[in-house]
Structure 1
Amino acid sequence: MQAQPEKKRHRFKMPSAFTILFIIIIIIAVLSWFIPAGKYSTDSSGNLIANTYHTVKSNPQGLWDVVMSPVYGMVGDKNTDGAISVSLFILVIGGFLGVVNKAKALDAGISSIVNRYKGREKVLIPILMTLFALGGSTYGMAEETVAFYPLLIPVMMACGFDSIVAVALALVGTSVGNMASTVNPFATGVASQTLGISPGDGLVSRIIFFVIVDVIAIAFVMRYATKIQKDPTKSYVYAQREED
Structure 2
Amino acid sequence: MAKKRNIPHTYVIVFFIIIASAILTWIIPGGEFDRMDKLMPDGSTKSVIVDGSFHHVADQPQTWQVFSAFFQGFVNQADIIIFILLIGGAFWIMNASKAIDVGILAFLQFTKKLERIQFLKKLGVNNIVMVLIMLMFSSFGAIFGMSEETIAFIIVMIPLAISMGYDSITGMSMVYVAAHLGFAGAVLNPFTIGIAQGLSDIPLFSGIEYRLFCWFVINLVGFTIILRWANKVKKEPKISPMYAADEVWRKQHESQEVNFEYHTPKAAWYSYFMVLISLIGFSYFYPETTMRIGNSEFSGFVLPITTALFAIMGFFSLRKSIHFFILTLLLFTIVFLIVGVMGYGWYVKEIGTLFFTMGLASGIAMGSSPNEITKLFLDGVKDILSAGLIVGLAGGIIVILQDGKIIDTIMYGLSQSMNEMGKVASVGIMYVIQTGLNIIIPSGSAKAALTMPIMAPFSDLIGVSRQATVMAFQFGDGFTNMITPTSGVLIGCLGVAKIPYDVWFKWFWKIALAFVILGFLLLIPTVLFEMNGF
So what's the TM-score if we normalise by structure 1?
Answer: 0.61
Mapped to 2, the partners of 1:98 and 1:143 lie a distance apart of: 18
Offset of residue 103 of structure 1: 4.7
C-alpha contact (below 8 Å) 2:418/2:426 kept by paired residues: yes
Change (3 A) 1:210 1:59: same
Offset of residue 154 of structure 1: 0.7
Change (3 A) 1:97 1:83: same
Change (3 A) 1:111 1:222: farther
Which residue of the partner structure matches residue 116 of structure 1?
417
Mapped to 1, the partners of 2:409 and 2:458 lie a distance apart of: 16
Mapped to 2, the partners of 1:112 and 1:164 lie a distance apart of: 23
C-alpha contact (below 8 Å) 1:100/1:106 kept by paired residues: yes
Change (3 A) 1:160 1:99: same
Residue deviations 1:62-87 (CA, integer Å, cap 9, x gap): 8x95xxx9xx97xx53x663433322
Among 455, 459, 462, the residue aligned to 1:152: 455
Which residue of the partner structure matches residue 46 of structure 1?
252
One-letter amino acid matched to 2:452? Y
Change (3 A) 1:172 1:211: same
Mapped to 2, the partners of 1:208 and 1:167 lie a distance apart of: 25
Which residue of the partner structure matches residue 476 of structure 2?
173
Which residue of the partner structure matches residue 57 of structure 1?
366
C-alpha contact (below 8 Å) 1:86/1:193 kept by paired residues: yes
One-letter amino acid matched to 1:95? G
Residue deviations 1:36-93 (CA, integer Å, cap 9, x gap): x95424797322749967436333658x95xxx9xx97xx53x663433322322232
Mapped to 2, the partners of 1:182 and 1:116 lie a distance apart of: 24
Between the two structures, name the one with larger relative contact order (CA 8 Å, sep ≥ 6).
2
Matched, 1:236 2:533: yes
One-letter amino acid matched to 1:194? V
C-alpha contact (below 8 Å) 1:136/1:181 kept by paired residues: no
More helix by share: 2
Mapped to 2, the partners of 1:135 and 1:49 lie a distance apart of: 45
Change (3 A) 1:220 1:136: same
Q: Identity of counterpart residues, as a percentage?
A: 12
Mapped to 2, the partners of 1:121 and 1:194 lie a distance apart of: 45
C-alpha contact (below 8 Å) 1:156/1:162 kept by paired residues: yes
Mapped to 2, the partners of 1:174 and 1:138 lie a distance apart of: 11
- Give the paired residue count: 197
Change (3 A) 1:121 1:110: farther
Instruction: Please provide the CA RMSD for this pair.
Output: 4.1
Matched, 1:95 2:396: yes
Offset of residue 148 of structure 1: 0.6
C-alpha contact (below 8 Å) 1:139/1:186 kept by paired residues: no
C-alpha contact (below 8 Å) 1:133/1:174 kept by paired residues: yes
So what's the TM-score if we normalise by structure 2?
Answer: 0.31
Change (3 A) 1:92 1:203: closer
Offset of residue 139 of structure 1: 6.9
Which residue of the partner structure matches residue 505 of structure 2?
203
Matched, 1:125 2:331: no
Change (3 A) 1:136 1:61: farther
Structure 2 residue ranges without an equivalent (≥5): 1-75, 106-249, 263-320, 323-364
C-alpha contact (below 8 Å) 2:394/2:485 kept by paired residues: no
Which residue of the partner structure matches residue 465 of structure 2?
162
Matched, 1:86 2:387: yes
Mapped to 2, the partners of 1:163 and 1:173 lie a distance apart of: 15
Mapped to 2, the partners of 1:205 and 1:130 lie a distance apart of: 22
Mapped to 1, the partners of 2:459 and 2:532 lie a distance apart of: 13
Which residue of the partner structure matches residue 180 of structure 2?
none
Secondary structure of the residue that 1:133 maps to in structure 2?
Answer: helix
Mapped to 2, the partners of 1:139 and 1:86 lie a distance apart of: 20
Which residue of the partner structure matches residue 8 of structure 2?
none
Change (3 A) 1:163 1:184: same
Offset of residue 167 of structure 1: 1.5
Residue deviations 1:15-34 (CA, integer Å, cap 9, x gap): x976xx79xx7xx99xx9xx
Secondary structure of the residue that 1:58 maps to in structure 2?
Answer: coil
Change (3 A) 1:138 1:97: closer
Deviates more, 1:42-51 or 1:95-104: 42-51
C-alpha contact (below 8 Å) 1:138/1:183 kept by paired residues: no
Mapped to 2, the partners of 1:203 and 1:95 lie a distance apart of: 20
Mapped to 2, the partners of 1:139 and 1:61 lie a distance apart of: 42
Which residue of the partner structure matches residue 10 of structure 1?
none
Secondary structure of the residue that 1:236 maps to in structure 2?
Answer: coil
Secondary structure of the residue that 1:59 maps to in structure 2?
Answer: coil
Mapped to 2, the partners of 1:140 and 1:60 lie a distance apart of: 42
Mapped to 2, the partners of 1:199 and 1:96 lie a distance apart of: 15
Change (3 A) 1:199 1:83: same
